[in-house]
Amino acid sequence: MEETSNALSELVETGFAELDFQPTTTNSRRRNVGNRANVAAIVIHKKYRKSICSILRRQNSSHLNIDLFLGMPPDILIEIFTELHPIDLIHLQKASPKFFLVLKFLGEAIWKAVYLQVESFPAPPPSASYSKWTTSLFAPQVCEKCDDGPAPLNLFTLQRLCKECHDQLFSPDEVAKQSEAEEFCVKSKFIVFSFNCEQENSFASHWPAYYTSEVEAVDRRLGDLKREAETGMESATDNLEKYRASRANIRSEFEKSATDWDSWSRHMALEISEKIAGRLFGMESRFKHRLIVSKAYAQEDVNNMDYEEIFKSYISESAVLSLNRRRSAQVRRLAEPQLLEIQTTRLEEEREELLTARKEFATEAYRAYLKTTSPTSRFDTPPSWHVIRDHAAFHTAINLPHNDPLTDEDLEDAWKDMPAYFDNWRQTKMRELASFLPSQSEASGADKKEPDVLAVDLATSVFYCKGSVAVTERRPGRCLIGWESLAAHLRCGALEYHWDRRLHFSQPGYEAASELVRLCGLDPLNAMGWDMNELDPRVVCLVCPETESAGREALPWQEAVRHYLVAEHTTPAWGILGPEVAADVKTREGNDLRNSEKSWACAHCSQYMLVCDVRRVITRHVRKEHHISQPVPLLDFIYFGGYTAYFNKVMVPTFADGLKAVCLRCSGNTHLFSTDGLKDHLLVCHRLSEGMANVDYRDVARIIRATESVEAKPTTVCVTES
């Protein structure tokens, strides 16, 4: 009987019936066929039909004919029908009038028997006939009113309606909640069999939920029963409670049925998705093998391709097309542009990694080369690596066309002319910096001469690093005077890619330094930095307000220029301290100020390049990390001029408290005394009750020279760019 049923279902489908769950398309109507197809029916049909086809292949069914079944007695025909699938019963209704009559008069019993024998197939919703439910379940997702799609199946009305038609029959939750009937009405549920989560959520979340006519009918019935109960009619209250219980029971049964069908649809979706994933994996594996073997592409490039995008035209929601020769050629044409792009990107990344490794190798080789040289003067400060790599020999070696790592032999040509390159770089950089100085740039036309490289050592040669000015919490490079400071700061990492890769002339710093040089009795056009260092004056800023308790801060001349730039005064105003006061200040500053300043960095690595430290820490780092027992200044560690505060703050108190005399009897004593303190000192140390002016003591002046015009208060001004 089972074999006969299988033969009948095969004959019915192939000879008499067409699939109802796929929408018919014509040239005049091809609207969203993919969204209108009933994926659940397609999947079930393929799964069921595949199982019966395997049975029919084992027997010769060619002699079977539909006439054989039409002549059978009804009781035998009914027994055959009970062995079929619900999909087959839909087809039999169209195959023959006899089949139609049998299913019409005995249909429900047959449908029920069929549902019981089909594995994991839930029963229809309450109050729905088996035939009507099966026809609706396996029908295309086409709206029954406007013939549009997609149209999900509503379990309550057993209708397939699009969004517009659905809105006409159903009410939103907000409208239903205004009525008491909302609690006793069935909420709309959909059977959605789709891998498109957005589509499924749109049915569940954004469509009206309650059937308008049902809400109105239940609301009217509840109102009538309530009015009867209020009038005191006999058994009216019982009728109201019975009606509420019956409606609640209908809703609970419907909710249970909806839950069963939702679980079934999700199970079917999961089953087919796993099947599609398996077939897709096999398709990808075969396609990858063909690309690697026949086309000789790299395996890593083939593995990085987006196969979901490539195979999307061969994957439907129900199946994966086989990859035959023709489709394989089509897929290859789609895949090769992406594959070439991936290959190009990989080669570029590998080339970039190779160049980075070569630069690191060349950097270490350059550091090793510096260890073999010894500076003979302060002009021998070596340039940073980001300057050296622009050398033609280095550039050629790093960018060699082959893909092999760099070796020492590749850099042999670079070391031969390195001393000459150092000298040329220094001269070029000094001429470049000198060209920005006013004394070198005033000449024009025929009188214009080559900048004097020694001009960078003028006391008025003030430059700054834009990287230090841009970051307000950092102070490095805000005031650089002289080639020693300039050459040291040219190794700053900010100059590798930014700020035009150079230092910039500071016009405000030039004006502040010029005023200081004039007050010291030198010519700003000719005074060198070492001339000012020899004088070693101490200066106070007259623009900054003086406090009665502490006085003013005493500054070395270079620190005074830096103070002017940081404080952003509009006009420089200085006071030169007298020699006695300056000597007293120097005794309180301490010795070897630069050694205790956090302005030292390692010349072999970048660990302290941006965050400097004191000299002692840097020399210990060079010995421990670079295994250099005797670190050499300028070669192994460098001082970055102007990186931080130059000295410990020393205040010069106002002379209003009497600190204005120095003892002449004490040899080398620079201590300043007040009037009472001087008397006690002469009496205790020199046994003199009264001292004579200019013999035993001498009154001193705190400021011996000062700027004539002094601002009342500081204002803000920007650093002038070169």
pLDDT 10s digits, 450-462: 778 888 999 999 9
How confident is residue 197, by pLDDT bands cut at 50, 70 and 90? very low
Which of 281-295, 347-361, 577-591 has the largest mean confidence?
A: 347-361
Express as a percent the part of the chain with pLDDT over 70. Answer: 73
How confident is residue 722, by pLDDT bands cut at 50, 70 and 90? very low
**H or E segment at 154?**
strand 153-154
Structure tokens at 31: 């609207």
Report which of residues 575 and 56 the model is more confident about.
575
pLDDT 10s digits, 425-457: 888 888 889 888 887 766 544 455 677 888 899
* SS3 at position 578: coil
- Rg of the chain (C-alpha set): 49
* SS3 at position 298: coil
Distance separating alpha carbons of residues 49 and 6, to the nearest angstrom:
9
DSSP β-ladder status, 661-663 and 697-699: antiparallel
Please, what is the average pLDDT of the chain?
75
User: Which residues have CB under 8 Å from 319's CB, separation 6+?
Assistant: 42, 46, 276
Asked if pLDDT for residue 519 goes beyond 90, the answer is yes
Between CA 11 and CA 20, with CA 17 as vertex, the angle to 5 degrees is 135
Under 8 Å between Cβ of 264 and 124: no
pLDDT 10s digits, 363-374: 888 878 876 765
Asked if pLDDT for residue 529 goes beyond 50, the answer is yes
How confident is residue 259, by pLDDT bands cut at 50, 70 and 90? confident
Each as own residue / partner, the long-range contacts of residues 470-477 (CB below 8 Å, 24 or more positions apart, any chain) are 475/566, 475/642, 475/643, 475/644, 475/645, 476/599, 476/610, 476/612, 476/640, 476/642, 476/643, 476/644, 477/503, 477/640, 477/642, 477/643
**H or E segment at 153?**
strand 153-154
Q: Which of 382, 517, 543 is nearest to 462 (CA)?
A: 517
Q: Which of 468, 488, 457 is nearest to 599 (CA)?
A: 488
pLDDT 10s digits, 309-335: 777 666 654 455 566 777 777 777 777
**H or E segment at 639?**
strand 637-639
Report which of residues 54 and 260 the model is more confident about.
260
Asked if pLDDT for residue 244 goes beyond 90, the answer is no
pLDDT of 592: 60
pLDDT 10s digits, 107-125: 677 777 877 777 667 778 7
Which of 65-69, 192-196, 576-580 has the largest mean confidence?
A: 576-580
pLDDT 10s digits, 139-167: 887 888 887 777 888 777 788 888 788 88
Distance separating alpha carbons of residues 322 and 335, to the nearest angstrom:
17
Q: Which of 385, 381, 383 is nearest to 395 (CA)?
A: 385
Beta bridge partners of 190: 154
pLDDT 10s digits, 472-510: 555 557 888 888 888 878 877 777 777 777 889 999 999
Asked if pLDDT for residue 91 goes beyond 50, the answer is yes
pLDDT of 513: 94
Asked if pLDDT for residue 537 goes beyond 60, the answer is yes
pLDDT of 319: 53
pLDDT of 638: 79
How confident is residue 54, by pLDDT bands cut at 50, 70 and 90? very low
Lowest mean pLDDT among 240-244, 534-538, 555-559: 240-244
Distances in whole angstroms, Cα of residue 167 to Cα of each of 32, 74, 283, 431, 605: 21, 45, 43, 83, 73
pLDDT of 58: 45
pLDDT of 559: 87
Asked if pLDDT for residue 267 goes beyond 50, the answer is yes
pLDDT of 612: 78
How would you label 120-149 residue by residue, b for 16+ Cβ within 10 Å and e otherwise?
ebbebbbebebbebbbbbbbbbbbebeebb
Distance separating alpha carbons of residues 250 and 254, to the nearest angstrom:
6
Please provide residue 84's backbone torsions phi and psi, each rounded to the nearest 5 degrees: -90, 180
DSSP β-ladder status, 661-663 and 672-673: antiparallel
How would you label 324-347 residue by residue, b for 16+ Cβ within 10 Å and e otherwise?
eeebeeebbeebeebbeebbeeee
pLDDT of 669: 66
How confident is residue 27, by pLDDT bands cut at 50, 70 and 90? very low
* SS3 at position 480: strand
Asked if pLDDT for residue 701 goes beyond 60, the answer is yes
pLDDT of 272: 73
**Most distant pair of Cα atoms in the chain: their distance:** 154
Which of 34-38, 101-105, 334-338 has the largest mean confidence?
A: 334-338
